[in-house]
């Protein structure tokens, strides 16, 4: 593995916010957003976040603790927020939260959250070293410290 000088980034530097509208083809016969479609959207948002942080192509290594809290339905606006919690040697952990909002009431509610791990790869598909992460806020520092425990549990 080639060693390169890496810049340290903050979680805000690569934070990704993605918005989708729940359409009929995204739902089951009851008009409820399919879990697989939601996880796909979460994977895309977290991949963008990982690639912005590492400045490399990244591939999904794992998805932990996916928690479906409440359903989104046809017509809802879904907002997905992906934020790096920690950078390791060749991987990054990302915390993803998803909110759904009713158009008429504009009331938003948390519908899902999960941790995604991505590995950065070079032009040959080999894992490569990633930039460090400097948490800034109290919540970022808490997530950063807890990420090592989650990695050990994987």
**Percent of the chain, pLDDT > 90?**
90
The predicted pLDDT at position 3 comes to 53
Average pLDDT for the chain: 94
Residue 72 has pLDDT above 80, yes or no: yes
Question: How far apart (Å, rounded) are the C-alpha atoms in residues 129 and 22?
Answer: 37
pLDDT average, residue stretch 2-29 = 89
Q: Which residue has the higher pLDDT, 153 or 134?
A: 134
Q: Are 130 and 89 in contact (CB under 8 A)?
A: yes
What homologous superfamily is domain 21-153 in, according to CATH?
A: Hotdog Thioesterase (3.10.129.10)
pLDDT average, residue stretch 72-97 = 97
Of 50, 60, 49, 70, nearest to 113 by C-alpha is 70
The predicted pLDDT at position 4 comes to 53
Question: How far apart (Å, rounded) are the C-alpha atoms in residues 129 and 124?
Answer: 14
Confidence band, pLDDT 50/70/90 cuts, at residue 76 = very high
pLDDT average, residue stretch 31-35 = 97
Unique residue bearing structure tokens 């927020």:
81
The predicted pLDDT at position 35 comes to 96
Q: Are 6 and 129 in contact (CB under 8 A)?
A: yes
Q: Are 42 and 72 in contact (CB under 8 A)?
A: no
Question: Helix, strand or coil for residue 142?
Answer: helix
pLDDT average, residue stretch 20-31 = 97
CA distances to 53, 70, 76 from 94, rounded to whole Å, are 11, 21, 24
The predicted pLDDT at position 146 comes to 96
């Amino acid at each position: 593995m080639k060693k390169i000088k890496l810049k340290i980034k903050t979680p805000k530097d690569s934070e990704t916010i993605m918005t989708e509208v729940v359409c009929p083809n995204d739902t089951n016969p009851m008009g409820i957003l399919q879990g697989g479609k939601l996880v796909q959207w979460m994977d895309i948002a977290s991949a963008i976040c990982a690639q912005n942080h590492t400045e490399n192509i990244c591939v999904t290594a794992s998805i932990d603790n996916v928690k479906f809290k409440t359903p989104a339905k046809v017509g809802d606006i879904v907002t997905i927020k992906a934020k790096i919690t920690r950078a390791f040697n060749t991987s990054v952990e990302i915390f993803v939260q998803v909110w759904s909002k009713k158009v008429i009431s504009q009331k938003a509610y948390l519908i899902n959250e999960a941790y995604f791990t991505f590995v950065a790869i070079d032009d040959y598909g080999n894992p490569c070293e990633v930039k460090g992460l400097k948490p800034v806020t109290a919540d970022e520092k808490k997530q950063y410290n807890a990420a090592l425990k989650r990695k050990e549990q994987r």
